[in-house]
Chain A
Amino acid sequence: MTATVQEPAARDPKRDATAEDVLEAARQGRQPKPPLRPMRIVLHVFLIATALAWLLPIGTAIYNSFRYYESDTQVNGPFSLPDALTLDNYRDAWGVGNMGTTFFNTAFIVLPSLFLILLLSSMVAFACTRYSWKFNIAFLVLFTAGNLMPQQVLFQPLFQIFKRVPWPDVVSDTDTGNLLGTKIAVILIHVAFQIGFCTFVLANYMKTIPTEISEAAAVDGASVPVQFFRVILPLTRPALAALGTLEFTWLYNDFFWGAVLLNQGDQRPITSSIAVLNGQYASDFNLIAAASIMIALPTLIVYLLLQKQFISGLTLGANKG
């Protein structure tokens, strides 16, 4: 390893950009420029190699989803030039998975759940952080801890509860007269479960809004609903956007509740219906790839468009306040 001429003799050339570099640059009022030392190059090679490895599964899946399996990929290998490109896998997977229906089911479950989760959890967070009463911390603890519970532990009693709640068949697609097996049941458990996490995050966020704002509004005669809808909620918008993005993908990605609460395949949301691919198409790997990509597509699009929101949604929960 050769040190460059400008390198001060005392400095270990192997050392990468340290705090010193950053500080020196900060003092001179410029962005610290990463010096292109050998270690930097090694680092970049490492990062590029890992990034390629990261893209390998999905890249190969996308490429091969446009190829025939038995006549092409299986014979020529996943990286060879294609004999022919085709959309047949997508068409077949759409039919096999009954994806028109299951996508609709997902929308029917996810959109109302999302709205209710954000509304209810911001209400709890508002009442628990902007006002002090005896048990506000206790309530926050209740919600936080509830969200960490393993779902499998809840589901048998839930099953029984839903079975005993009457629900007119007119507004569901079952004929049992109770909530079990309806999409409403899935919405309810999503809302109940996810308000735990969202309350936690929103409470952390609302704590950082200065109390003076509420006091000023109170002096002006703002009632509680005005305080909530007109004062605090608009100030919470960044957190709501971030949480909304994150929760959308979580709800969309839910496998468990859709699978155990909804019996018939046609009623399940798209992610829960994926197990249908274990059937007679289990060895047509390109069809599986096409199906997986279609299911992944909505969340990937959300990620590409709203990456910043998505990431801040996750980290809001980790960074207090």
Chain B
Amino acid sequence: MTIPIDANELTAAPARGRRRPRFRVSSDKAWLVAMVGVPAFLHIVLVWIPAVLTIALSFTEWDNLAPLSDIRAVGLQNYWFIFTVFEGDLFAALFNNFVLIFWLTFCSVVGMLFAYLLDKNIRGSRIYQSVYYFPVVLSLAVVGFIWKSTMFSRDRGLLNVVWPGEPVDFVGDGTKLFAFDLPWLDPQLGLSRNFAALLVAMAWRHIGYIMVMYLAGLKAVDLSLREAAAIDGCNEWQAFRHVIFPSLKPINVVVVVITVIEALRAYDIVAALNEPRGTEVMGTLVTRSLLGEGGGRVGFGSAYGVVLLLLCLGFIVWYVLNHYRETDR
């Protein structure tokens, strides 16, 4: 593992317009190389190389218990399979992930509204914040079980208090709330009760998360901006729409990325509750194919993984560009 540092390039970070003090001591260079090198080695070997290997494995057929020499290149066969023969699995999972993106985006807007309300110098604002916020410290797996124990059950679940029809078992009932046909797809796509119930539990956690982000952003909005808006006679909505919201742009970018990536990576709550019928998401699809009986279908699972990676990639690139383009070099 070589670290691409040209030792002669090492200089103390310059304040603009100043002479850069150069290094004289070679042990300093060694220190810096080690300081970047060790973490970078770990990060590259355990994060980036596996990601690249997953892409490579998606073009192969291999049972992961067999020796490495058994890996056979099969071209696009895995992709052909997941998009045709097993299209039901893939599109059901993708559908749930997209539902999740829309739902969490909606929750983000609600979180922003909460932040806006709590930013109004309200009595007891701290208490409200603490209450809305505490689910964020819980793992989604635990959130799933807390909701299962009190909200979802048929006998005594509190969701059945607001549910109009016959009492239902919200986790354990794969009935679709709505479904529709796609001309080229055999099984129907739709939202199952199981998944809808999980969406509610996820909102409980996500809204507080986003609220905190926006509260911090709103506190940082320059008072003179609000002053200018008030002097120009903006009403509340106009001031928010044209003055405050645009000045929150860095937060908006972070929130979009958090929301979309969380929606695409969703796994914990579904897996912890044993993947109830109708709740499959890309995360569980990948994991199930890789861990399944008989050593797993590595090529398959990897192909699912690549689909997931591609969905995330656009947002990752967009975020990184956004952040580092504006950062001073």
Contacts and interface: CB of A to CB of B under 8 A. Distances in A.
B176 interface: no
Interface in A274-321: 274-275, 277-278, 285-286, 288-289, 291-293, 295-296, 299-300, 302-303, 307, 310-311, 314-315, 317-320
A152 B305 contact: yes
Contacts of B53: 156-157, 160
Contacts of B190: none
Given A133-B9, A154-B51, A224-B31, A212 B327 contact: no
Contact of A156 (B156, B251, B305, B312): B305
B236 interface: yes
B5 A145 contact: no
A170 interface: no
B268 A141 contact: no
A140 B287 contact: no
A154 B25 CA distance: 40
B11 to A, nearest CB: 6
B302 interface: yes
Nearest to B41: A192
Given A148-B319, A291-B145, A47 B153 contact: no
Interface string B205-243: 000110011001100100100110110000110010000
A292 B49 contact: no
A135 B5 CA distance: 7
Interface in B278-299: 282-283, 286-287, 290-291, 296, 298
Given A228-B35, A319-B220, A314 B146 contact: no
Interface in A203-257: 207, 211-212, 214-215, 218, 223-225, 228, 249, 252-256
Contacts of A223: 25, 27-28, 31
A280 to B, nearest CB: 13
A191 interface: yes
A311 B290 CA distance: 36
A191 B46 CA distance: 9
Contacts of A132: 9, 11-14, 20, 329
Main secondary structure of the interface of B (DSSP, over half): helix
Contacts of B50: 153-158, 161
B273 A152 contact: no
Nearest to A134: B9
Interface stretch (B72-80, B82-90, B100-108, B121-129): B121-129
Given A57-B151, A135-B5, A158 B46 contact: yes
Given A141-B320, A155-B287, A189-B46, A47 B274 contact: no
Given A17-B120, A134-B4, A300-B134, A292 B220 contact: no
Contacts of A212: 15
Interface size class of A (residues with CB under 8 A): 35 or more
B190 to A, nearest CB: 24
A43 to B, nearest CB: 6
A166 interface: no
Contacts of A299: 137-139
Given A153-B309, A215-B12, A143 B43 contact: yes
B168 interface: no
A131 B57 contact: no
A157 B272 contact: no
A64 B213 contact: no
Q: By CB atoms of chain A within 10 A, which of B5, B39, B209, B298 has the most?
A: B39
A82 interface: no
Contacts of B121: 17, 22, 31-32, 34
A300 B257 CA distance: 26
B196 to A, nearest CB: 16
B254 to A, nearest CB: 4
A24 to B, nearest CB: 10
Main secondary structure of the interface of A (DSSP, over half): helix
Interface of B: 4-6, 9-15, 20-21, 25, 27-28, 31-32, 35-36, 38-40, 42-51, 53-54, 57, 64, 114, 117-118, 120-123, 127-128, 130-135, 137-142, 145-151, 153, 155-156, 158, 201, 204, 208-209, 212-213, 216-217, 220, 223, 226-227, 229-230, 235-236, 239, 250-251, 254-255, 257, 261, 264-265, 267-268, 271-274, 282-283, 286-287, 290-291, 296, 298, 301-302, 305-306, 308-309, 312, 315-317, 319-320, 323-324, 326-329
Given A60-B158, A127-B35, A192 B46 contact: yes
Contact of A253 (B128, B138, B216, B312): B138
Contacts of B38: 120, 123
B230 A20 contact: yes
Given A155-B50, A223-B25, A130 B290 contact: no
Given A121-B39, A192-B43, A289 B239 contact: no
Contacts of A55: 131
Contacts of A260: 287, 291
A130 B54 contact: no
A318 to B, nearest CB: 4
A302 B42 CA distance: 29
Interface string A52-65: 00111110110010
Contacts of B282: 150, 152
A129 B135 CA distance: 34
Contacts of B326: 320
A158 B54 CA distance: 10
A152 B149 contact: no
- 9 closest Cβ contacts across the A-B interface? A253-B139, A19-B226, A192-B46, A157-B53, A315-B216, A157-B50, A289-B149, A19-B230, A123-B35
B64 A146 contact: no
B153 to A, nearest CB: 6
A256 B13 contact: no
Contacts of B27: 223-224
11 contacts: A40-B122, A43-B117, A46-B117, A56-B158, A124-B39, A131-B12, A137-B327, A152-B282, A271-B139, A285-B150, A319-B250
